[in-house]
Structure 1
Amino acid sequence: MTTALCFDLDGTIVHYPEPYEAVVRETLEAHGIAFTSDLESVGEDAFRAAFNALEPDPYRQSMAAVVEAADADADPDAMVETLRRNEYAATTVPEAARLSLSGLADDADDRLAVVTNGVRDWQVGKLDHHGLTDLFDAVVASYEVGAHKPDSAPFDAVRERVPADEYVMVGDEYEADVEGARAAGFVPIHFEDGDDGPDLWATIDALL
């Protein structure tokens, strides 16, 4: 029986050991803008509003809002590229996860996919950065299907792209990854926050 093993990206495969504030601080200061918690909130609010509404370029909207709030002479597009580099550099992939995914990818009965809420090129870039892209048969990002998890659209897209007898979803967000997957007919596995060690991935190996 062929099984499609689907994984969330942020918080499941890719982790952020340090608070995201450090990424924002480094980005702003690289473009001559003094970091403050108020500016961080401005950028986060602008991003979240654009992201939730699936508006184009949420990262640029975030940086443009910061530039305006700071009354700074900075290029939002250049800031986005700096943010991207800093964000990728701030991420890690637990070795246990890397080994588990590599082993699963070698199994002829398994198909691997990423199902992530995000902008496709930004999310695929994280996989590229960590040398993981070739392990997956498909990457589905919510922006490309017009809806974020827990909506069924990202899960439906996996079914279209990765034929299998059974679909399993592993993710850390309970509503998006567990409830959304279950409603879509997937078998959900909840990845608890902080469970990035070998025991967790050994359990996933055993279950799958």
Structure 2
Amino acid sequence: MTTAVCFDLDGTLVHRTAPHETVTRAVLADHGIEADDAIVTTAQERFRAAQNALEPNPFERSMRAVLDETGRDGDPEAMVETLRERAYATTTVPEAAADCLDALAADGPLGLVTNGTRDWQLGKLAHHGLAESFDAVVTSYEAGAHKPDSAPFDLLRERLPADEYVMVGDDSEADVVGARGAGFVPIHYEETDGPSFWATLRAMV
């Protein structure tokens, strides 16, 4: 029997080392924009609204909203590239998680099911040397819905045939309730579990 072990990305495999607000503020400052709390809120709320609605280029829309509100000239695409660099640089993958992926990959297929745009999430994987770890990667944008909707899980199943599926994730709604509803066996990860979680996961699956 083939078991595909699937993972969430943000908050499960990849962890922030700085709050998103701090990263946004630094990016705006890099582009000569005084980033007070209101402007940072504008950037974050526009991004969340765009991503929730599956609008194309949510980060660019966020930066355009900042330029519109401040009346500044600027290149939103360049701002997004700065954001990408800073965002990737302020994330980390726990060593125990990376070791667990290596061990599990030797035993069976691995999948990734993540909310977000494909280019951004694949770039994050590449930045951390994880791009080759997965046999299939599904993002919510290409599935047409965010987790906990079943669409991302269903698309993963299409791309990665197996007899059963396990989903490892930190979000109790998206990764546990959503996975269970799609017929996956959910395993809830909490950051406080630390290395012991990854050692237990290796033993379990």
Counterpart of 2:70? 70
The equivalences for 1:51-130 within 5 A come to 51-107=51-107, 110-130=108-128
Amino acid at match of 1:84: R
* TM-score, reference length from structure 2: 0.97
Structure 2: gaps of 5 or more residues: none
Residues 1:36 and 2:40 are matched in the alignment = no
1:204 pairs with one of 198, 201, 204: 201
Paired letter, 1:131: G
Q: Which residue identity does 1:191 align to in structure 2?
A: Y
Deviation at 1:192, TM superposition (A): 1.3
- Residue 185 of structure 1: aligned partner: 183
Task: Write out the 4+ residue segments of structure 1 that deviate beyond 2 Å after TM superposition.
Answer: none
Determine the C-alpha separation between the residues in 1 that align with 2:134 and 2:179. Answer: 19
**Aligned equivalent of 2:168, options 149, 167, 170:** 170
Offset at residue 91 of structure 1 (A): 0.6
Match of 1:113, SS state, is strand
Distance 1:24 1:53 in 2: 21
Q: Deviations over 1:148-193 (max 9, x none)?
A: 0011110001110111111000001111000000000100001113
Q: Secondary structure at the match of 2:16?
A: coil
Q: In the alignment, which residue of structure 2 is the partner of 1:151? A: 149
Distance 1:9 1:152 in 2: 17
% identity of equivalent residues: 62
Q: Which amino acid aligns with 2:166?
A: V
Equivalent residue of 2:4, what SS? strand
Q: Distance in 2 between matches of 1:55 and 1:12?
A: 25
Please say if 1:138 is aligned against 2:136.
yes
Cα distance in 1 between the residues matched to 2:56 and 2:195: 38
Q: Distance in 2 between matches of 1:194 and 1:34?
A: 36
Q: For 2:55 and 2:150, locate their aligned partners in 1 and report how far apart those are by CA, in whole Å.
A: 19
In 2, the alpha carbon distance for the partners of 1:139 and 1:120 equals 9
Q: Deviations over 1:73-117 (max 9, x none)?
A: 21111101110111011110000001010111111xx11011000
Partner of 1:24: 24
CA distance in 2, matches of 1:18, 1:79: 18
Q: Distance in 2 between matches of 1:194 and 1:18?
A: 17
Corresponding residue number in structure 1 for 2:11? 11
State the AA in 1 paired with 2:125. L
